[in-house]
């Protein structure tokens, strides 16, 4: 790769120091959580919070999982997050396909509406949203929460996918039309595999957003058996307010799926963010 500028050795050291310092800022709290989540009792956490455990134990994880109903919260989070991913990926990709490839009267206005959705946070529309969800009889249901969270992710997803789709040559779709493919076949068999990196980006963002969402479940759910992990962990905090070793285990259980999702999709994620910026 051609270097547009080169750093002197001192400058390189300075840059590396800043990057390492920033990595420490990010990783130290996580490391502290990991270390303390394996400590056998609270005393060790208080005595030496930065020291390694005298005895490594998984019991905190088991206790958090069983004792605080983490299994139920985890399942609810998984249902909500995976449903949001599926709905957003399907709806946003079909929407982007139509907006980019089949423009119609008003499609520019529709796209502008999605862009307004990117700018304006969904929380500003909470009162009408609450009324709509209540009117539909979906208050205090996972379905209602899934639909609201999916809608909140749609603008960003449509924005990413339309930008990516514009970089896919339209001759491929012309070729598919000549071959007799119907619009849905073109979308499904030709376009969808080509926008996979962008789709992975959207899936990852949707999953992380849905998994970590605290505010929307708080508003739209009332029954504790429907709570996702974010609300569950708040309950957990109230129940085990001073049990830091259990708290850390709970936080790490919650964190694990997003880390795994990012690791699985990271290559496609980066491609999705960068592809289309330059013409190959």
Partner 1 sequence: MSSLDIKHLNKSYGSVQVLHDINLEIPENAFVVFVGPSGCGKSTLLRSIAGLEEIDSGEIILEGRDVAKEAPVDRDFAMVFQSYALYPQMTVRDNIGFALSVAGRPKAEIHRKVDEVAQMLRLTEYLDRKPADLSGGQRQRVAIGRAILRSPKAFLFDEPLSNLDAELRVDMRLQIAELRRQMSATFIYVTHDQVEAMTLADQIVVLRAGRIEQVGSPMELYHHPANSFVASFIGSPKMNLLSVADLGLAGESAATLGVRPEHLSIGADGALEGTIAAIENLGPVSYAYVDVRGARVTVQLPPAHGFALEEAVKIGWADDALHRFDAEGRRI
Q: Which residues bind partner 1 (CB under 8 A)?
A: 169, 171-172, 174-181, 185, 189-190, 193-194
Q: Which is nearer to partner 1, 169 or 277 (CB)?
A: 169
| Min CB(185)–partner 1 separation in Å | 6
- Measure Cα distances from 254 to 208, 211, 260 in Å: 11, 9, 11
Nearer to partner 1, 171 or 225 (CB): 171
* Cβ proximity to partner 1, 196 vs 237, nearer residue: 196
- Minimal distance, residue 176 CB to partner 1, in Å: 7
Question: Of the two residues 118 and 190, which places its CB atom closer to partner 1 in the complex?
Answer: 190
Q: What is the largest CA-CA distance in the chain?
A: 73
Q: What is the 3-state secondary structure (H, E, C) of the chain?
A: CCCCCCCCHHHHHHHHHHHHHHHHHHHHHHHHHHHHHCCCCHHHHHHCCCCCCCCCCCHHHHHHHHHCCHHHHHHHHHHHHHHHHHHHHHHHHHHHHHHHHCCCCCHHHHHHHHHHHHHCCHHHHHHHHHHHHHHCCCCCCHHHHHHHHHHHHHHHHHHHHHHHHCCCCCHHHHHHHHCCCCHHHHHHHHHHHHCHHHHHHHHHHHHHHHHHCCHHHHHHCCCHHHCCHHHHHHHHHHHCCCCHHHHHHHHHHHHHHHHHHHHHHHHHHHHHHHCCCCCC
Closer to partner 1 by CB, 164 or 207: give it.
164
Min CB(272)–partner 1 separation in Å: 16
Return the structure tokens found at 81: 């997050």
- Identify which of residues 11 and 179 has a Cβ nearer to partner 1 in the complex: 179
Least distance (Å) between residue 120 CB and partner 1:
33
CA distance 209 to 212: 5
In whole angstroms, the minimum distance from the beta carbon of 83 to partner 1 comes to 27
**Least distance CB 196 / partner 1 (angstroms):** 8
Nearer Cβ to partner 1, position 21 or 175? 175
Quick one: 147 or 176, whose CB is closer to partner 1?
176
Considering the complex, what minimum distance in angstroms separates the CB of residue 101 from partner 1? Answer: 13
Phi and psi torsions of 95, nearest 5°: -65, -45
Least distance CB 209 / partner 1 (angstroms) = 28
């Amino acid at each position: 790769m051609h270097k547009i500028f080169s750093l002197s050795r001192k400058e390189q050291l300075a840059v590396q120091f800043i990057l390492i310092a920033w990595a420490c800022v990010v990783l130290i709290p996580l490391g502290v959580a990991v270390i303390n989540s394996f400590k056998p009792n609270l005393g060790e956490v208080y005595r030496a919070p930065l020291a390694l455990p005298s005895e490594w134990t998984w019991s905190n994880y088991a206790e958090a999982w069983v004792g605080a109903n983490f299994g139920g919260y985890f399942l609810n989070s998984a249902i909500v997050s995976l449903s949001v991913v599926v709905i957003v990926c399907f709806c946003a990709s079909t929407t982007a396909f139509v907006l980019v490839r089949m423009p119609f009267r008003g499609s520019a206005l529709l796209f502008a509406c999605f862009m307004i959705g990117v700018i304006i946070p969904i929380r500003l529309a909470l009162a009408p949203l609450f009324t709509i969800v209540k009117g539909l009889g979906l208050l205090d249901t996972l379905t209602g929460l899934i639909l609201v969270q999916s809608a909140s992710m749609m603008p960003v997803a449509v924005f990413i996918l339309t930008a990516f789709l514009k970089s896919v040559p339209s001759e491929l779709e012309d070729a598919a039309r000549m071959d007799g493919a119907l619009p849905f076949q073109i979308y499904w068999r030709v376009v969808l595999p080509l926008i996979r990196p962008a789709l992975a980006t959207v899936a990852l963002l949707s999953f992380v957003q849905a998994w970590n969402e605290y505010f929307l479940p708080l508003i739209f759910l009332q029954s504790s058996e429907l709570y996702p992990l974010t609300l569950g962990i708040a309950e957990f905090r109230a129940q085990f307010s001073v049990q830091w070793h259990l708290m850390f285990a709970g936080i790490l259980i919650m964190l694990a799926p997003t880390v795994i999702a990012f690791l699985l999709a990271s290559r496609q994620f980066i491609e999705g963010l960068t592809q289309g910026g330059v013409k190959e």
